[in-house]
């Protein structure tokens, strides 16, 4: 019987944060030994202050690996926030923690924690572990930072981005678990409809939905759908029947060298390419202690097996094939590798 590892993805509760959490969840679910959950909460993961109140995220207690994504450190208070994270993980030495954001990170301070690995990727499109799918184009459009997404986007992307921005706005009925459920079950058509909705229902001063603002019928339908999805944990028949015809996520371009479908991923064989790539990337990050860190293929394989679990038999021949083409690695002298 396979021993599962409980894995948690904790993300900022804004528009791109919901999308990044869903992309990371899908990619990690490809690893057969991972049982993946997410926390995207307008109260607990609202902003950079999350770092100083991690004790409120009780879901961490039951997980072995934790991914913090799209949670920035504020330029004016990063020292206090980084120290809070270092203390928190220091009290939990048996757990592994990964930090990933598209804002600069206090890397030197985080290096004090032996069980934390932090990665800064400036383009929101790259703010995931594993391969980006078209949903990361939408995530990037929701931020003002420079991104290659603007050269890739299609006309419908701005509409979908608007729908997700409205759905994620604090003070509204969808931010958090309900929007996460809509994303998990590929309700892209419904979210695009929210983007087309009458803008008079969606005035968002400072990004927030004011108390007392009327809720449109489109928003109410989405709220009912999200509640049904959370209760049943499976899409209703109407979504299964016409998803492909309605989904704005059925793109004809590649976001990266490989562009996975946007539908939910189920655990697969340890010889599945996506599972191998995800585990090797996590292993490479964990073996990287600084900008000059290098490692041998044998170390990478051993670390990938450690993260994936002893019952996930990664084949050395498969790993060697992937290493020659892995986009997140570069070869360095001495037959060693380095994280790009």
The per-residue pLDDT for range 286-319, each reduced to its tens digit, is 999 888 999 999 999 999 989 988 666 777 777 7
70 and 41 Cβ atoms separated by less than 8 Å: no
- pLDDT digit string, tens, across residues 242-298: 433 344 454 433 444 333 334 444 445 556 788 888 999 999 999 998 889 999 999
pLDDT value for 288: 95
The one-character DSSP state at 125 is: G
Determine the average pLDDT of the residues in 203-209: 91
CATH 3.40.50.2300 residue ranges of the chain are 1-131
Residues of the chain with CATH 1.10.10: 273-339
Looking at the predicted structure, is the pLDDT value of residue 187 above 50? yes
CATH architecture of 1-131: 3-Layer(aba) Sandwich (3.40)
pLDDT at 338: 93
**pLDDT by residue (tens digit) across 21-66?**
999 999 999 998 899 999 999 999 998 999 999 999 999 999 999 9
Mean pLDDT of 166-191: 96
Rg over alpha carbons for the chain, rounded to the nearest Å, is 20
- CA 35/CA 25 separation, integer angstroms: 10
pLDDT given at position 52: 97
**Total-model pTM:** 0.88
Query: How long is the chain?
Result: 340
Which segments within the chain are labelled E, that is strand? 5-11, 34-40, 65-69, 96-101, 116-120, 329-332, 336-339
Res 129: pLDDT: 94
Give the architecture (CATH level 2) of 273-339: Orthogonal Bundle (1.10)
CA–CA dist 321, 323 (Å, integer): 6
């Amino acid at each position: 019987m396979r021993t599962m590892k409980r894995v948690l993805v904790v993300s900022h509760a804004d528009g791109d944060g919901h999308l990044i959490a869903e992309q990371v969840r899908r990619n990690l679910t490809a690893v057969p030994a991972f049982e993946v959950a997410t926390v995207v909460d307008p109260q607990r993961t609202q902003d950079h202050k999350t770092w100083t109140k991690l004790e409120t995220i009780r879901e961490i207690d039951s997980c072995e690996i934790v991914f913090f994504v799209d949670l920035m450190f504020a330029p004016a208070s990063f020292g206090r926030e980084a120290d809070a994270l270092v203390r928190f993980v220091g009290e939990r030495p048996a757990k592994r923690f990964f930090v990933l954001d598209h804002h600069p990170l206090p890397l030197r301070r985080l290096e004090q924690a032996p069980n934390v690995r932090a990665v800064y990727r400036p383009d929101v499109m790259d703010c995931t572990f594993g391969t980006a799918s078209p949903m990361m184009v939408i995530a990037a459009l929701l931020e003002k930072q420079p991104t290659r997404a603007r050269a890739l986007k299609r006309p419908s992307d701005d509409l979908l981005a608007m729908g997700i921005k409205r759905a994620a706005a604090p003070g509204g009925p969808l931010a958090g678990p309900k929007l996460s459920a809509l994303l998990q079950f590929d309700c892209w058509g419904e979210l695009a409809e929210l983007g087309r909705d009458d803008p008079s229902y969606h005035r968002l001063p400072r990004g927030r939905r004011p108390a007392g603002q009327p809720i449109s019928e489109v928003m109410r339908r989405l709220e009912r759908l999200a509640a049904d999805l959370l209760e049943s944990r499976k899409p209703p028949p109407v979504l299964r029947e016409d998803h492909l015809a309605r989904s704005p996520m059925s793109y004809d371009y590649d976001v990266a060298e490989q562009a996975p479908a946007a539908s939910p991923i189920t655990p697969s064989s340890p010889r599945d390419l996506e599972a191998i790539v995800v585990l090797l990337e996590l292993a490479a990050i964990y073996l990287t202690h600084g900008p000059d860190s290098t490692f041998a293929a044998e170390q990478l394989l051993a670390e990938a097996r450690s993260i994936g679990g002893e019952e996930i038999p990664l084949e050395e021949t498969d790993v060697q094939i992937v290493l020659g083409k892995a986009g997140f690695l570069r070869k360095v002298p001495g037959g060693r590798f380095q994280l790009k």
